[in-house]
Amino acid sequence: MSGPQREENEDDILSLRHHLVNWLFTPLYLLLLFSTVTGYIAALKLSNQPYDLVLTERARLMASRFDLIPETEQATQEYLLPDEAEHLSFTLFDANNHPLLGNATLPRPRPIDFAAEGPRLRSTSLGGDKVRMLTLHFRTSRRTPGTEYVLVVAEPVKDRLYLGRSILGNIVIPQFIFILIAGFAVWIGLKRGFEPLENLRRAVAKRRGDDLSPLDEAMAPGEVRPLIREVNALIERLKGMMDQQKRFVANAAHQLRTPFAGLRAQAELARRADAPPAVRAALEGICEGAGRCSRLVTQLLTLARNEPDARTEENMTEHDLNRIAQETAMDWVPEAVGKDIDLGFEGSAGELPLRCDEGAMRDLIGNLLDNAIRYTPPGGRVTLRTGPGPWLRVDDNGPGIPPEERGKVFDRFYRVAGSGQPGSGLGLAIVHEVAQRHRAHIAIESGEGGRGTAFRVSFSR
């Protein structure tokens, strides 16, 4: 049962962790996206500045070169355009807006470009390519003093884009790596942070079903402590209710014991007196019924006494298991003899010290012997053995318990159908409770020679 439950718990912890990571990283990645976009715009702007400066300087240089050529000489485009600026296209216009010279036909300058002296820059596209276009209005001072010209120069923007992207890369990649490292650190941190919870879960999963002791608050992180406190309060209430119920069963059984014993004694007395056969038969029935009720009540009381509770450790003292087993076997000799069963005891050599509740231990062995004697047909053999560990074992050569029934016979009031013997199905439930109280392990095996039944109870020291 603990398997699927455990998986479910792990999933819950995992999803809580995912939840936290999502809440931390979604905003972080959104921020990264935002900073990438703003960074890209800033990088483009930044990369434009130096290129614009160079472009302006080149245009001014071209204008002054043009001014240096005497009016009598024809200016050539190769002369105006330096080698290192071959990627530029330019057209020189005169004051009448006629193209004079150039390596490309660039759009004519607008009237405003003649009005304002100095360079004007704008981004536009030319024949499908994005370019940065500069318009420089200048007057010559040597060639023909005071004549106006407009030089239009266009530069493809792909170099600027390249610079912009490499600036962006230098910002975004470290940022991305930083976020990845932060994510890893947070993940590890969360894993370690959840460790106390995981330890708590393991401690709860390891508990025995009957362990109702409070959970250790110190194991839980501060945030979870109030929850643990509430769970402990709930356990305490539950324990109170269970104790009340157990007390009720124990009290009821105790109260019923005396009337049943009285009933049985009275019926025995009446049976011995002279009475007509029909009345005698009825009294026999009453005697038997009262006997069964007495036994049932005793079994219920024994069960209630051995149910685990806060007093589990009470009455636990050091005893010799060998002696207890031998004495209990002796108690059952009359029963065995009455049924023609060969009851044997094979104790281990020497003492078998065991910390136990002696009365409960006698109940355990007594119920195993009772079953073995009751279910083994007359003429059979029952043997009680003990050994170091310590362990004890009851073998019989009776009908045996089918493997598919072995898991159920320890349930309260469970009986295998067709045994033909009276009983209420509480004997093995008592054996189970006593074994649990003593942290012992019970196994049902086949008896000697593969026949019958063997109950083996192993105690761990």
Ligand X SMILES: Nc1ncnc2c1ncn2[C@@H]1O[C@H](COP(=O)(O)OP(=O)(O)OP(=O)(O)O)[C@@H](O)[C@H]1O
Considering the complex, state which of residue 229 and residue 451 has its C-beta at the smaller distance from ligand X: 451
Closest approach, Cβ 305 to ligand X, in A, equals: 15
Closest approach, Cβ 412 to ligand X, in A, equals: 8
Bond before 390 cis per omega within 30 degrees? yes
Q: How far apart are CA 369 and CA 329, in angstroms?
A: 8
Q: Which residue do the tokens 């309060």 mark? A: 233
Cα dist from 342 to 86, 278, 331, 382, 396, whole Å = 120, 37, 14, 6, 10
Q: How far apart are CA 194 and CA 220, in angstroms?
A: 10
Residue pair 215/231 in contact by the 8 Å Cβ criterion = yes
Size of the site for Mg ion (CB under 5 A): 2
Considering the complex, state which of residue 80 and residue 429 has its C-beta at the smaller distance from ligand X: 429
Helix axis angle, 427-437 relative to 277-306, nearest 10°?
20
Give phi and psi for 90, each to the nearest 5: -145, 160
The span of 59-67, 315-323, 369-377, 438-446 binding Mg ion (CB under 5 A) equals 369-377
Q: Contact residues for ligand X (CB under 6 A)?
A: 299, 367, 371-372, 375, 396, 398-399, 401, 409, 414-416, 419, 423-429, 453
Considering the complex, state which of residue 206 and residue 413 has its C-beta at the smaller distance from ligand X: 413
| Nearest CA-CA partner of 32 in 135, 175, 156, 163 | 175
Considering the complex, state which of residue 197 and residue 430 has its C-beta at the smaller distance from ligand X: 430
Considering the complex, state which of residue 48 and residue 371 has its C-beta at the smaller distance from Mg ion: 371
Closest approach, Cβ 427 to Mg ion, in A, equals: 3
Closest approach, Cβ 294 to ligand X, in A, equals: 12
Structure-token pair, residue 335 = 């029963």
**x/- contact string, 426-455, with Mg ion (CB under 5 A)?**
-x----------------------------
Chain-centre distance for alpha carbon 395: 45
**Residue 34 touches which of Mg ion, ligand X, none (Cβ within 5-8 Å per kind):** none
**Residue 322 touches which of Mg ion, ligand X, none (Cβ within 5-8 Å per kind):** none
Show the beta-strand stretches assigned E in 33-117: 89-94, 99-102
| Nearest CA-CA partner of 455 in 437, 435, 425 | 435
Q: Is 366 among the residues that bind Mg ion (CB under 5 A)?
A: no
Closest approach, Cβ 408 to ligand X, in A, equals: 9
**Residue 399 touches which of Mg ion, ligand X, none (Cβ within 5-8 Å per kind):** ligand X
Q: Is 39 among the residues that bind Mg ion (CB under 5 A)?
A: no
Closest approach, Cβ 238 to Mg ion, in A, equals: 30
Considering the complex, state which of residue 24 and residue 296 has its C-beta at the smaller distance from ligand X: 296
Q: Which residue do the tokens 């009983």 mark? A: 423
Residue pair 93/150 in contact by the 8 Å Cβ criterion = yes
Give phi and psi for 216, each to the nearest 5: -75, 110
Structure-token pair, residue 186 = 């947070």
Closest approach, Cβ 195 to ligand X, in A, equals: 44
Q: How far apart are CA 408 and CA 428, in angstroms?
A: 10
Radius of gyration for the alpha carbons in the chain, expressed in angstroms and rounded = 51
Considering the complex, state which of residue 156 and residue 291 has its C-beta at the smaller distance from Mg ion: 291
Among 48, 302, 322, 371, binds Mg ion (CB under 5 A): 371
Closest approach, Cβ 444 to ligand X, in A, equals: 8
The span of 191-199, 321-329, 370-378, 444-452 binding Mg ion (CB under 5 A) equals 370-378
Reduced to 3 states, what is the DSSP secondary structure of residue 332?
coil
Q: Please report, as residue ranges, which positions from 373 to 432 form the binding site for Mg ion (by CB under 5 A).
A: 427
The span of 114-122, 270-278, 317-325, 368-376 binding Mg ion (CB under 5 A) equals 368-376
Reduced to 3 states, what is the DSSP secondary structure of residue 454?
strand
Give the interface with Mg ion as residue ranges (CB under 5 A).
371, 427
